[in-house]
């Protein structure tokens, strides 16, 4: 078991999570926001696999991670499609100027 190392894992997970949250809060660029989302989901992937290892149930953690990666890919693909559409209409990828998207 990895009981001794778990606080160290948790320290890195928290660091990655807060880096992603900082990226999402500070930036107004939509692509940067999506990158922040990706970083947060990576932190949660590490949290899931670490907890699965801790309770010696690694296969359940793997199945959850596979589902999560797929959700992540779909969200990123749809978000980037919206970014490209927004750029074609507004000529900007600033999130504060997305109010022009209608229909």
Report 8-67 residues binding another protein (CB under 8 A): 8, 10-12, 14-16, 18-23, 25-29, 31-32, 34-36, 38-39, 42, 45-46, 49-67
For 29, list phi and psi in degrees, rounded to 5.
Answer: -75, 130
Q: How far apart are CB 34 and another protein at their closest, in Å?
A: 8
Residue 76 or 99: the one with the smaller Cβ distance to another protein is: 76
Separation of alpha carbons 60 and 45, rounded Å: 13
Q: Which long-range contacts (CB under 8 A, 24 or more apart) does 86-90 make?
A: 86/30
What is the torsional sign of CA 23, 29, 33, 38?
Answer: negative
Q: How far apart are CB 43 and another protein at their closest, in Å?
A: 9
* Subset of 63-92 contacting another protein (CB under 8 A): 63-67, 69-78, 80-85, 87-89, 92
Binding of another protein by 102 (CB under 8 A): no
For 95, list phi and psi in degrees, rounded to 5.
Answer: -70, -25
């Amino acid at each position: 078991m990895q009981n001794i190392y778990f606080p160290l894992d948790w320290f890195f997970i928290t660091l990655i999570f807060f880096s992603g949250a900082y990226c999402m809060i500070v930036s107004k660029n939509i692509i940067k926001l999506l990158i922040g989302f990706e970083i947060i989901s990576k932190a949660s992937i590490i949290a899931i696999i670490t907890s699965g290892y801790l309770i010696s149930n690694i296969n359940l953690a793997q199945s959850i991670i596979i589902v999560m990666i797929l959700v992540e890919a779909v969200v990123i693909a749809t978000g980037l499609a919206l970014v490209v559409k927004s750029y074609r209409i507004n000529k900007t990828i600033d999130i504060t100027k997305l109010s022009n998207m209608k229909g």
